[in-house]
Chains A and B, each alone.
Chain A
């Protein structure tokens, strides 16, 4: 079992749609959680950290469920510019970042 698992997609949605991605992690002692965004053939960039109480940044909402060991990312009112691969990232209890393989989102006009 991979330490961090994501559905690779692709998720194809129309502009204006709401889309949600989930990510599961295997190490219950994991410390911190993040979503990164990676555009095609570009470097990953931090989208947002994920806090236990959940957090929101504009159209993006991240949730953490420690009991079930999953993280989610919700994108509301999708824009064409949201098309990218979204990487779920977990910092384990040794301090290392573990990356999921990513979920690809394609927003269509």
Chain B
């Protein structure tokens, strides 16, 4: 039982490049979410999903896309990376909504 996995652990991009951060869970949780964590700020919600085929925007969605084709996977796509997207990205899941979420180990992204 791996819980929540994220790949890659580290990534360096150049401005304008695109990439996908992967998130997978084996807990059969309906709720999945993406956060970014920046120094001096709390985690901020980027996008979330309440089930396969359903996604919605969080607090800071600009520059990111998501899709949820299966219960297990919730990838986050950066369309055209910018230095302001340098951050630590966490994926999280919840059995019945955002309460009691389980977080993945994070992806540390640097955009040059």
Quick one: CB contact mask for A18-59 with B, threshold 8 Å, 1 for yes?
000000000000001010000000111110010000000000
We find that the number of chain B residues with CB closer than 8 angstroms to chain A is 20
Q: Which residues of A contact B43 (CB under 8 A)?
A: 44, 87, 99
Are A96 and B41 neighbours in the complex by a CB distance under 8 Å? no
A44→B91 CA distance, assembly (Å)? 11
**Which of B40, B58, B104 is the one whose CB lies under 8 Å from A96?**
B58
Contact at A97–B98, with CB atoms within 8 Å? yes
Q: Cβ of A34 and Cβ of B90 under 8 Å apart? A: no
Contact A95 B97, beta carbon cutoff 8 Å = yes
Judging by beta carbons under 8 Å apart, are B45 and A45 in contact? no
Asked whether, in the complex, the Cβ of A44 is within 8 Å of the Cβ of B42, the reply is no
Please give, as numbers and ranges, the residues of chain A lying within 8 Å of B102 by CB-CB distance. Answer: 46
Of the candidates A45, A49, A99, which one forms a contact with B42 in the assembled complex, judged by CB atoms under 8 Å apart? A99
Q: Are A96 and B42 in contact (CB under 8 A)?
A: no
Which A72-109 residues have C-beta < 8 A from chain B? 87, 91, 95-102
Residue of B nearest to A100 (CB): B42
In the complex, the answer to whether A45 meets B103 with C-beta atoms within 8 Å is yes
A-B pairs, top 6 by smallest CB distance, nearest first, are: A99-B42, A43-B103, A99-B43, A97-B98, A101-B42, A100-B42
Chain B residues within CB distance 8 Å of chain A: 35, 40-45, 58-59, 90, 97-106
New contact pairs (20) apart from A45-B103, A99-B35, CB-CB < 8 Å: A2-B42, A34-B100, A42-B106, A43-B90, A43-B103, A44-B90, A44-B103, A46-B100, A46-B102, A49-B100, A91-B98, A91-B99, A95-B97, A96-B45, A96-B58, A96-B59, A97-B99, A99-B42, A101-B41, A102-B42
